[in-house]
Amino acid sequence: MADTESLVDILYVDTFNQMGINKSHLLPCRGSLIGFTNHSLLPEGMITLPSTIREHPRQTTIQVQFLVIDLKSAHIIILSRTVLHLLRAIPSTYHQMVKFSTPNGVGVAKSNQQEARSYYLLSTKGKGAQDSMPIELACLQLEKTMEQQRTIPMEELKEIHID
């Protein structure tokens, strides 16, 4: 899932286990994750993995640092806006696709509408709001608070009309 609101890349522990990677490869992660419901969640750790989007010849591979979390979800990963930016991707929720640049032209990753609908229904069927919410790092919320404290201009600004 590509989530333009997420600030971190998430790999769910079920997916991590299915990949057959030993937990000893996880780097420790200090700090907790906070979702829209303000529930705190400690990640299992972090891991950087090569991630290939789409298939040859219109594909791209980038290194993505995932936070591994133990949480039930209909998705296997969440790609953050940072990864979408690195891919120079253009997501369209209406068309359920993502277009991105590759050395061989524009790559397209499409979703299956029926599959997306079943994932949506699965993630909203009474599993608890925290199971399907995008997650942000707590320390990044501090960054947002700091952004709001903008400096004021040193002098009055003059409005100039251009014809």
Delimit the domains of the chain by residue range: 9-140
Structure confidence at residue 47 (pLDDT): 93
pLDDT at 119: 67
- β 9-12/60-69 pair status: parallel
The residue type at 58: R
The gap from C-alpha 28 to its chain's centroid, in whole angstroms, comes to 20
Whether pTM exceeds 0.75: no
Distance CA 110, CA 115 (A): 11
CA 53 to chain centre: 14
Which of 32, 67, 55 shows the shortest CA–CA distance to 139? 32
The model's pLDDT over 105-139, given as tens digits with 9 standing for 90+, comes to 999 888 777 776 776 677 666 444 344 333 333 33
CATH number 2.40.70 is the correct assignment for the domain at 9-140: yes
Kindly report, residue by residue over 58-68, the tens digit of the pLDDT.
888 889 999 99
Q: How confident is the model at residue 142 (pLDDT cuts 50, 70, 90)?
A: very low
Residue 42's pLDDT band, with cuts at 50, 70 and 90, is confident
Beta bridge partners of 11: 68, 77
Residue of 78, 76, 69 lying closest to 29 (CA atoms): 69
Distance of alpha carbon 69 from alpha carbon 78, whole angstroms:
11
Between CA 78 and CA 50 the distance in angstroms is: 15
Give percent above pLDDT 90 in the chain.
12
Query: Phi then psi for 45, rounded to 5 degrees?
Result: 160, -170
